[in-house]
A and B are shown apart, each in its own frame.
Chain A
Amino acid sequence: MTGVLPADSDDLDAFGASAHRALQDLAVPGEMRARLRVPDELLSKTWRTVVELGWSGICIPEEHGGLGLGVDYLVALGVAIGGSLAVGPFSANLAIAPALLQLGVDGECVAELLPAIASGEIVLTSRCTVGDSGTPTVDHPSVANRALLVRFDALADIVRGEMSIVDITLPGVLRDEVQTFDPTRGARPVAIDTAAAVGASCTHGFEISAVRLDRALLPLRLFIAAQALGVAQRALQIAIEHVSARRQFDRPLGSFQAIKHQLADVHLANEKARVLTQSAAREAVAGLAGADLDCHLAWIAATRAAVAASQACLQAHGAVGFAWEHPCHLFLKRAHSLAAGFAGVVDSREHVRQYVNQTLAFEAPRPASFIGS
Chain B
Amino acid sequence: MALARAPKPVNFVGHNILGPTLLLHGSESQRQRFVPPLVRNEHLWCQGYSEPGAGSDLGSLTTVAVPDGRCYRVSGQKVWTTYAQHADWCFLLTRTGSTQSRHRGLTFLLVQMSSPGIRVRPIRQITGEDGYCEVFFEDVRVPLENRVGQQNEGWHVAMTAANLERATYFIPHIARMRAELGDLIALARRRRRQAAGGEVGNSLVDGYLNLRALELQLQEMLARVESQRDPGAGGALIKLLWSESRQDLFELAMQLLGDELDSPRHPERDWCADYLQTRSETILAGTSEIQRNLIAERILGLPR
A and B interact: yes
Q: B230 in the interface, Cβ–Cβ < 8 Å? A: no
Q: Which residues of chain B come closer than 8 Å to A300, judged between CB atoms?
A: 205, 209
Q: Which segment of B46-54, B71-79, B278-286, B287-295 sits at the interface?
A: B287-295
Q: Which residues of chain B come closer than 8 Å to A236, judged between CB atoms?
A: 300
Contact A365 B267, beta carbon cutoff 8 Å: no
Q: Which residues of chain A come closer than 8 Å to B302, judged between CB atoms?
A: 240, 243-244, 252, 254-255, 259-260, 263
Q: Contacts A349-B205, A357-B195 hold; do A267 and B185 have CB atoms under 8 A apart? A: no
Task: Report the minimum CB–CB distance from B192 to chain A (whole Å).
Answer: 11
Task: Report the minimum CB–CB distance from A47 to chain B (whole Å).
Answer: 35
Q: B138 in the interface, Cβ–Cβ < 8 Å? A: no
Q: Contacts A264-B292, A268-B240 hold; do A361 and B208 have CB atoms under 8 A apart? A: no
Q: Which segment of B97-105, B156-164, B174-182, B256-264 sits at the interface?
A: B174-182
Please indicate which of the listed interface residues B197, B207, B220, B303 has the most CB atoms of chain A within 10 Å of its own CB: B303
Q: B172 in the interface, Cβ–Cβ < 8 Å? A: no
A373 to B303, CA, bound (A): 56
Q: Which residues of chain A come closer than 8 Å to B304, judged between CB atoms?
A: 255
Contact B212 A276, beta carbon cutoff 8 Å: yes
Instruction: Identify B183's interface contact among A254, A275, A364, CB under 8 A.
Output: A364
- Interface SS majority for chain A: helix
**Number of A residues, CB within 8 Å of B:** 42
Contact A360 B205, beta carbon cutoff 8 Å: no
Q: Which residues of chain A come closer than 8 Å to B213, judged between CB atoms?
A: 271-272, 275-276, 297, 301
Q: Which residues of chain B come closer than 8 Å to A365, judged between CB atoms?
A: 3-5, 179
Q: B120 in the interface, Cβ–Cβ < 8 Å? A: no
Instruction: Identify A356's interface contact among B205, B210, B303, CB under 8 A.
Output: B205
- Interface SS majority for chain B: helix
Q: A72 in the interface, Cβ–Cβ < 8 Å? A: no
Closest residue of chain A to B181, judged by CB? A360
Q: Contacts A276-B216, A364-B183, A370-B267 hold; do A301 and B241 have CB atoms under 8 A apart? A: no
8 Å CB interface, A258-291 against B: 259-261, 263-265, 267-268, 271-272, 275-276, 279
Q: Which residues of chain B come closer than 8 Å to A363, judged between CB atoms?
A: 178, 182
Closest residue of chain B to A260, judged by CB? B296
Instruction: Say which size band chain B's interface belongs to.
Output: 35 or more
Q: Which residues of chain B come closer than 8 Å to A279, judged between CB atoms?
A: 216
Interface string of B210-222 (1 = CB under 8 A from A): 1011001100100
Q: Which residues of chain B come closer than 8 Å to A268, judged between CB atoms?
A: 237, 240-241, 295
Q: B9 in the interface, Cβ–Cβ < 8 Å? A: no
Task: Report the minimum CB–CB distance from A289 to chain B (whole Å).
Answer: 14
Q: B189 in the interface, Cβ–Cβ < 8 Å? A: yes
Closest residue of chain B to A271, judged by CB? B237
Q: Which residues of chain B come closer than 8 Å to A356, judged between CB atoms?
A: 181, 185, 201, 204-205, 207-208
Q: Which residues of chain A come closer than 8 Å to B301, judged between CB atoms?
A: 240, 244
Instruction: Identify B185's interface contact among A240, A244, A297, A361, CB under 8 A.
Output: A361
Q: Contacts A240-B301, A361-B189, A364-B178 hold; do A257 and B183 have CB atoms under 8 A apart? A: no
A271 to B303, CA, bound (A): 21
Q: A367 in the interface, Cβ–Cβ < 8 Å? A: yes
Q: Which residues of chain B come closer than 8 Å to A357, judged between CB atoms?
A: 185, 189, 195-196, 201, 204
A185 to B170, CA, bound (A): 44
A365 to B212, CA, bound (A): 18
Q: Which residues of chain A come closer than 8 Å to B217, judged between CB atoms?
A: 271-272, 275
Instruction: Identify A297's interface contact among B196, B208, B267, B293, CB under 8 A.
Output: B208
Contact B5 A367, beta carbon cutoff 8 Å: yes
Q: Contacts A254-B302, A275-B220, A357-B201 hold; do A261 and B5 have CB atoms under 8 A apart? A: no
Contact A260 B292, beta carbon cutoff 8 Å: yes
Please indicate which of the listed interface residues A255, A276, A294, A357 has the most CB atoms of chain B within 10 Å of its own CB: A357
Q: Which residues of chain A come closer than 8 Å to B237, judged between CB atoms?
A: 267-268, 271
A150 to B21, CA, bound (A): 61
Closest residue of chain B to A255, judged by CB? B303
Q: B202 in the interface, Cβ–Cβ < 8 Å? A: yes
Task: Report the minimum CB–CB distance from B3 to chain A (whole Å).
Answer: 6
Please indicate which of the listed interface residues B213, B237, B267, B291 has the most CB atoms of chain A within 10 Å of its own CB: B213
Contact B209 A301, beta carbon cutoff 8 Å: yes
Q: B297 in the interface, Cβ–Cβ < 8 Å? A: yes
Task: Report the minimum CB–CB distance from B252 to chain A (whole Å).
Answer: 13
Interface string of A345-373 (1 = CB under 8 A from B): 00001001101111011111101001001
Q: Which residues of chain A come closer than 8 Å to B297, judged between CB atoms?
A: 260
Contact B196 A275, beta carbon cutoff 8 Å: no
Task: Report the minimum CB–CB distance from B299 to chain A (whole Å).
Answer: 6
Instruction: Identify B293's interface contact among A260, A294, A360, CB under 8 A.
Output: A260
Closest residue of chain B to A351, judged by CB? B205
Pick 29 A–B contacts, CB within 8 A, sort by A.
A240-B300, A240-B301, A243-B302, A252-B302, A255-B304, A257-B293, A263-B296, A264-B240, A268-B237, A268-B240, A271-B217, A271-B237, A275-B213, A276-B209, A294-B212, A297-B209, A352-B208, A352-B209, A353-B204, A356-B204, A357-B201, A357-B204, A360-B208, A361-B182, A361-B185, A364-B183, A365-B4, A365-B179, A370-B268
The 8 closest A-B pairs by CB, nearest first: A364-B182, A260-B296, A361-B185, A254-B302, A264-B295, A272-B213, A264-B292, A275-B216
Knowing that A263-B296, A272-B217 are A-B contacts, what are 19 other residue pairs whose CB atoms are under 8 Å apart, sorted by A's residue number?
A251-B303, A252-B303, A255-B304, A260-B300, A260-B302, A264-B293, A264-B296, A268-B240, A275-B213, A275-B217, A275-B220, A297-B213, A300-B209, A352-B209, A353-B204, A357-B204, A364-B179, A365-B3, A365-B5
Q: Chain B residues in contact with chain A, CB under 8 A?
A: 3-5, 178-179, 181-183, 185-186, 189, 195-197, 201-202, 204-205, 207-210, 212-213, 216-217, 220, 237, 240-241, 267-268, 289, 291-293, 295-297, 299-304
